[in-house]
Structure formats: C-alpha cells, structure tokens
C-alpha cells in the first residue's frame, strides 16, 4: 500500500487529492512542522530534503509533487489525473502547466506567505512580500483570463492541475492576497473544492489538524504570515 508523508495546508494536499481521486487504499504519515518532524532522522531517511509530499510506493520513494503526479497519472490512467498525450509537443504543453504550478507559482506562494522567513533581516519581509505579490499578479493574470473562457486549467475536463491551482489560491488568499480582482479564479477555486476527492483530502487534513491541536502543534495559515 502506498504511504504519503504529508502535513495539512501544505502542497502535499495536491498529492493527497490525487490519491483520493485514484481511490486505492493508502496510508498517511503526518509531519508536525511545529515539532520539527521534517528535520528528524525518521523523515530524512524518507526524503533527505525534509519536504512534503513524499510518497512511498512499491517502486521506492517518490518526491516532488510534479514527479509524484506524473507517476500516479501514468500508473493509474483510469483516474484521469493528467492527459497522457503521445506526441512530444502535447506532453510538453501538459508538463509546462504542471511546472507553472510547481516552479513558477509555488516559490512565489512561499515568498508571499512566509516572507519573514526569507531573509535574516526581518525588515526585508515587507519588500519580499510586495515583490512576491507583484509576481503572483503577473502569473495569475493569464490564468484568470483563461478561466474566464474555460472551466478548468486544461479545458473542459478537470485534471489534478486544478487541485494544484486551488491549493495555490487557498494559500495566498488565506495570507491576504487580493482575491476580488480574480472572479474566475474564485469561481474555479469553489468548483475545485466541491470535487469529492478534494473534500476527502480536506477530511484527512481535518483529522490531522485535530491530532496537531491535541498536541499543541496546530497553526493556521494566517499564523505563518507576517500579518
Ligand atoms: N518542489 C517541492 C516543494 C515541496 C515543499 O516546499 N514543501 C513544503 C510544504 S508546502 C515543505 O515541506 N517545506 C518544509 C521545508 O522546506 O523545510 C514539491 O513540489 O514537492
């Protein structure tokens, strides 16, 4: 059985949603950041980079959301996580959308949400946050435009990229990013959150949050910002 190492509210939500969409049984292991689990030997032996998500499979540990999602999409094609074009250009187009989430948007999310952790000088935080907001606005504008024309990231069919974008939107809006200027992103977020796999993933996060709360290790997205 696959085992996902995850933490609630993090980008591991995307992999969690993918596993729920597949519908095969899987185990989860909670990483409590506030307890420093991500720097402890048990987790570092799974992912030496100390980051979630990490997915243990029969074929070994797979890390990086982008790699995990392409792996799951190929191993479980019936789940329809990602299109599987056979031509090089079609595949490149699909991967570009995946990398847009993992390589362009996610680093901006981190800088926007946790700007005080991006410099040794706390006084830099407002500038880092403002610059990240600028980058987010630039990256989200074409997506807003696209989602005004079509239901999902890749057209009229849902893909796991929609769960990725929904997580990005959740993270930045919880940290105060201006949402009103993006009506199509808001519509997309609501639709993506209604998906049964997204609801199931959130239920797992709720259970993890209850565990963290009981241990005094819970934090809200807002507590991680500079606000
Ligand atoms: N590029 C990685 C990023 C993973 C990542 O940064 N995960 C965060 C949570 S959203 C994390 O585990 N941070 C802890 C750390 O960097 O120490 C991926 O897409 O999987």
Please identify which residue in the block is written with the tokens 């200027």: 181
Q: How far is the CA of 52 from the centre of ligand 1 (A)?
A: 5
CB 113 within 8 A of CB 220: no
Ligand 1 contacts CB of residue 38 (under 6 A)? yes
Q: How far is the CA of 36 from the centre of ligand 1 (A)?
A: 14
Q: How far is the CA of 51 from the centre of ligand 1 (A)?
A: 4
Which residue has a Cα nearest atom 13 of ligand 1? 51
CA distances (Å), origin 36, targets 9, 31, 111, 133: 16, 8, 21, 29
CB 36 within 8 A of CB 49: no
Contacts of 221 (CB under 8 A, 6+ apart): 9, 113, 170, 171, 174, 175
The percentage of the chain sitting over the pLDDT mark of 90, rounded to a whole number, equals 94
Q: Quick one: DSSP state of residue 176?
A: T
Which residue has a Cα nearest atom 2 of ligand 1? 64
Cβ neighbourhood burial of 122 (10 Å; 0-12, 13-18, 19+): exposed
Q: In 10 A of CB 116, how many CB atoms?
A: 17
Q: Which pLDDT score is estimated for 224?
A: 54
Q: Which pLDDT score is estimated for 227?
A: 36
Average pLDDT of the chain is 95
Measured between alpha carbons, how far is 113 from 165 in angstroms, rounded to an integer? 16
For a mutational test of ligand 1's pocket, the pick from 29, 51, 114, i.e. the residue with the most ligand atoms closer than 8 A to its C-beta, is 51
Q: Which pLDDT score is estimated for 102?
A: 98
CA distances (Å), origin 25, targets 3, 4, 16, 123: 9, 11, 12, 47
pLDDT single digits (tens) 193-215: 999 999 999 999 999 999 999 99
- Residue ranges and CATH numbers for the domains of the chain are 2-80+197-224 (3.40.30.10), 88-195 (1.20.1050.10)
CA 175 to chain centre: 15
The most confident of 116-120, 122-126, 155-159, by mean pLDDT: 155-159
Q: Which pLDDT score is estimated for 226?
A: 42
Ligand 1 contacts CB of residue 102 (under 6 A)? yes
Mean pLDDT of 22-48: 97
Output 226 or 64, whichever has higher pLDDT. Answer: 64
Cα dihedral sign for 84, 186, 18, 172? positive
Ligand 1 contacts CB of residue 10 (under 6 A)? yes
């Amino acid at each position: 059985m696959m085992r996902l190492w995850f933490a609630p509210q993090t980008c591991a939500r995307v992999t969690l949603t993918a596993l729920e969409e597949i519908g095969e049984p899987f185990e989860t292991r909670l990483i409590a950041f506030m307890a420093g689990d991500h720097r402890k030997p048990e987790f570092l032996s799974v992912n030496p980079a100390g980051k979630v998500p990490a997915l243990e499979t029969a074929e070994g540990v797979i890390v990086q959301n982008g790699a995990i999602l392409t792996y799951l999409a190929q191993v479980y094609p019936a789940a329809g996580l990602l299109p599987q074009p056979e031509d090089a250009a079609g595949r490149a187009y699909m991967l570009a959308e995946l990398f847009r989430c993992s390589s362009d948007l996610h680093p901006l999310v981190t800088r926007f949400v946790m700007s005080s952790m991006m410099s040794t000088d706390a006084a830099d935080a407002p500038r880092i946050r403002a610059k990240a907001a600028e980058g987010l606005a630039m990256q989200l504008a074409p997506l807003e435009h696209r989602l005004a024309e079509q239901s999902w990231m890749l057209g009229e069919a849902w893909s796991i990229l929609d769960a990725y974008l929904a997580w990005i939107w959740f993270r930045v809006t919880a940290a105060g990013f201006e949402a009103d200027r993006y009506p199509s992103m808001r519509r997309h977020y609501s639709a993506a959150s209604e998906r049964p796999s997204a609801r199931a993933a959130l239920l797992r996060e709720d259970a993890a949050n209850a565990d963290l709360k009981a241990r005094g290790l819970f934090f809200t997205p807002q507590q991680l910002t500079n606000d």
